[in-house]
Amino acid sequence: MSNLLFIIMTLLWMSLYVYVPYQAAYLSSINTTSSMIGIIIGVYGAAQMFLKFPFGLINDYIGKCQSLIILAGFLTSLGAVIRLLNTNQYGFLIGGILCGISASIWTVFIILYASYFNKNEEYKAASKALVASVLGMFISFIIAAFSYNKLGMKFLLTVSAVSGALVSILGLFLKDTVHEKKLSVKVLFSVLKNKRLIVFSLLAIVIQGIQMSAVISFTLNRIKELGGGSQNIGTASIVSMLFAIIGAFVPSRIKNQDNIKKYIPLSFIIMAVYCIMVVSTDNIFIITASQVLGGFSSGILASLLTSESIKEIEAEKKSSAMGFFQSAYSFGIFLFPIITGKLIDIYSIQTAYIVLASISILSSIVSITYYAIKSVK
């Protein structure tokens, strides 16, 4: 059953991301402003920001993972169809909201997947679930890179619609795990008192925000503005996803859990270096190479921050905790693209990326400080 769910998770992220590498460039080509592009990217995160925690609460309360997974596939497919019928900024705006609602249910996917593993294998389950998501993005980016130039945006949206439909169809064959006890909503809300969950949720806001606004959006648009073609954009997106997969795999190979406190701050520094590299050159090939750093750091941090955030949470509350964690980082997906777009419009992409690099360095310092305080206690 875990293998089936792995395939379903991969398909979900294919559906959500197959058009993303060319979304900013496409919208720019139809005279959409950078600020509006930032809003279109941001609403995807806004929907998750408000809905992931409620979906986590609902799942902990009723324990119906299968139904929610089927709903996720339907919504992402519907979002693609709306874009197909309205290939303008408003179609992408509405489609982004629907796909954001679909992505809000990702919490349920992870919790059901983790339930197929032993409790002492939580890092392994979280790592594999994130590998499934990044693998879905990677496959979708390859499809986009080799088809966009000849078949255009409508083909990518068709792939998105079909992949979403397959999520719903295959979801019919999933089985829910036994829901042992139903907790009150008040008890489920108690996860918000966990300081560890709060700290790592705040750090996740940063990494998800930088990945969405820079690694898979404005960096690719920068390549286009520097004269790069669709193949250059496709290659850069594939490189970032390939190394995000490698990064997501790393936590499952960590033997000494104490090393995690070193990997997290170091990965934030790597992301800061990436942001500076992108705006320090006009060479398309160097920018493409820098995607190695952006992809790897986002992959390893997504995996580590997820597992670290729920380390102290009881099993029956994990959906609620995971829902809060993902709602929090969705705030980054919502806010960072909008701020980055505004900074680019008002100042320059150099200013925007230096701000992102500074925030990443600050996050590294916060993680070091947190672990230092924990070790003293």
DSSP codes, 154-218 = HHHHHHHHHHHHHHHHHHTT--PPP---PPPHHHHHGGGG-HHHHHHHHHHHHHHHHIIIIIIII
Say what the pLDDT of residue 115 is: 81
Say what the pLDDT of residue 151 is: 93
Give the integer Cα–Cα distance in Å for 272 and 275: 5
Q: In which residue ranges of the chain is pLDDT below 50?
A: none
For the CA atoms of 103, 45, 53, 104, the dihedral, rounded to the nearest 10 degrees, stands at -10
Say what the pLDDT of residue 217 is: 86
Say what the pLDDT of residue 183 is: 55
Give the integer Cα–Cα distance in Å for 328 and 303: 15
Cβ-based burial of 310 (10 A; exposed 0-12, middle 13-18, buried ≥19) = buried
List CB contacts of 252: < 8 A, sequence separation 6 or more. 123, 124, 127, 128, 303
DSSP SS3 for 347: coil
Say what the pLDDT of residue 180 is: 55
Continuous segment of H or E residues that includes residue 277:
helix 260-279
Structure tokens at 90: 């408003």
Say what the pLDDT of residue 41 is: 86
- What is the per-residue pLDDT across 75-131, written as a single tens digit (0 to 9) for each? 999 999 999 999 899 999 999 999 999 999 988 898 888 888 776 666 677 778 888
